[in-house]
Structure 1
Amino acid sequence: MTQNLEYEFRYSITHWFQPIYHLKNNNVLGYEALLRDASQLKVPPADIFREADKNGYRNVLDLMSIKKALEIFKDASSPLFLNIFPSTLLEGNFLSWWDMHMPPRTPFVLELLEDEPIRNWKELKKTTKELKRRGVKIAVDDMGGGYSFFQQWIELDPDFIKLDRYFAENLSISPKKQKTVTSLVDLLSDTTEIIIEGVETEADLNTAEFLGITYAQGYLLGRPSPRTNCIGRG
Structure 2
Amino acid sequence: MSVLVEEIKLRKISIDDSKFNYSITHWFQPIYCLKNLSIIGYEALLRDASKLHISPNQIFKEAEEKGCQSTLDLMSIKTALNNFRNESNLIFINIFPSTLLKGNFLYWWDTNIPEDMPVVLELLENEPVENWKELKKVTRGLRARGVKIAVDDMGAGYSFFQQWIELEPDYIKLDRYFASNLAVNPRKQRIVRFLVDLLVDSTKLIIEGVETEADLNAAELLGISYGQGYYLGKPSPKENLIL
Q: Which runs of 5+ in 1 are unaligned?
A: none
Alignment pair present for 1:181 and 2:187: no
Residue 113 of structure 1 is matched in structure 2 by: 124
Alignment pair present for 1:57 and 2:84: no
Residue 233 of structure 2 is matched in structure 1 by: 222
Aligned identity (percent) is 65
Alignment pair present for 1:18 and 2:29: yes
Q: Which runs of 5+ in 2 are unaligned?
A: 1-10
Letter in 1 for 2:183: S
Alignment pair present for 1:166 and 2:177: yes
Letter in 2 for 1:183: F
Is contact 1:114-1:147 (8 Å) kept? Answer: yes
Is contact 1:112-1:139 (8 Å) kept? Answer: yes
Alpha-carbon distance, 1:5 to partner: 3.8
**In structure 1, distance between residues paired with 2:225 and 2:15:** 43
Residue 219 of structure 2 is matched in structure 1 by: 208
Of the structure 1 ranges 153-162 and 42-51, higher mean CA displacement relative to structure 2 is found in 42-51
- Residue-pair matches, total: 232
Letter in 2 for 1:219: Y
Alignment pair present for 1:48 and 2:42: no
Alpha-carbon distance, 1:3 to partner: 8.9
**In structure 2, distance between residues paired with 1:138 and 1:4:** 23
TM-score w.r.t. the length of structure 1 is 0.94
Residue 193 of structure 1 is matched in structure 2 by: 204
Alpha-carbon distance, 1:186 to partner: 0.6
Residue 140 of structure 2 is matched in structure 1 by: 129
**In structure 2, distance between residues paired with 1:138 and 1:180:** 23
Letter in 1 for 2:227: A
Q: Cα RMSD over matched residues? A: 2.0
Residue 72 of structure 1 is matched in structure 2 by: 83
Alignment of 1:98-109 (within 5 A): 98-109=109-120
Alpha-carbon distance, 1:160 to partner: 0.3
TM-score w.r.t. the length of structure 2 is 0.90
Residue 108 of structure 2 is matched in structure 1 by: 97
Is contact 2:99-2:105 (8 Å) kept? Answer: yes
Alpha-carbon distance, 1:143 to partner: 0.3
Residue 27 of structure 1 is matched in structure 2 by: 38
Change (3 A) 1:56 1:11: closer
Residue 157 of structure 1 is matched in structure 2 by: 168
Is contact 1:22-1:215 (8 Å) kept? Answer: yes
Q: Deviations over 1:109-149 (max 9, x none)?
A: 00000110000000000000000000000000000000000
Change (3 A) 1:4 1:121: closer
